[in-house]
Amino acid sequence: PGAPSLLDSGPVSDPNQAGPLDHAAATDLLARADALVGSGEFAIAESYYGRLIGAGAATTHVAALLGIAECRYRLDDEPGARAAWEAAAGAPETALSWLAWKRLAADRVRAGDLRAALDAYREAESRAPADERAELASRLGWLNKELGNGNAAERAFGRARRSGAPTPLVTWALLAITIGIGFSSILSPDSQAFWFTLLGLDKQAVAAGESYRLFTVVFVHAGLIHLVSNMYALYLVGPLVEGLY
């Protein structure tokens, strides 16, 4: 249902029609194929995508290969889908190349070949738009962890925390202020007394109305170990929280 209207209208009515395709016709055919996938007509959609292989721009060619892979995967033809993803990943570079590598990496995970999946996700991350890199870096982190590459996993998770998120200015400011107060207190007893008197959690002062001390107490620390452990936690969690809000 719905397929006849897609097949019978517009500049390209027959996906098997021979001859070159101009940009408008190729774009129209690709849109129709995508619509057919959306309506579950995978076999018909594949014939549309097939008409676009080698036709027009390289981006259209790669998009068609990705479409064929999707159709074959939905039709339970995983080897056929894998072949199309491999062809898309090996095609000339386009804005969709990262997606081809991502799909191929996921296929390799399903096949249990984690090392090959790791390589494919690396290729995807190196080509992906900025707003997609955090997810890919996270997947690299988990794969490295599964393969016992602890240091590589931490680096990947670090990229995942940073990628696609705004610069955590509030976190850096809190780190700078707290570390400054902390080292000032450690290096000078007089300075420590000053900061604890000004910012510390004095219960009598809070009862007298200085409720701000419930918050400013986070800026003072009882020694180097206390300071370092809290600042490391803030360094890890702060950018994540700031990105969410």
Q: Which pair of tokens denotes residue 214?
A: 């419930």
Looking at per-residue confidence, does 97 or 26 come out higher? 97
pLDDT score at 23: 83
Report which listed range, 55-59, 70-74, 188-192, 221-225, is most confident.
70-74
As a whole number, mean pLDDT of residues 123-149 equals 93
Q: Which pLDDT tens digit goes with each residue over 203-220? A: 999 999 999 999 999 999
Cβ contacts of 130 within 8 Å, gap of 6 or more: 163, 164
Q: What pTM was estimated for this model as a whole?
A: 0.63
> Does the pLDDT at position 25 exceed 60?
yes
Report which listed range, 148-162, 164-178, 180-194, is most confident.
180-194
pLDDT score at 212: 94
Q: Which pair of tokens denotes residue 176?
A: 């700078």
> Does the pLDDT at position 11 exceed 60?
no
Q: Which pLDDT tens digit goes with each residue over 143-164? A: 999 999 999 999 998 888 776 5
> Does the pLDDT at position 55 exceed 80?
no
pLDDT score at 17: 63
As a whole number, mean pLDDT of residues 190-206 equals 92
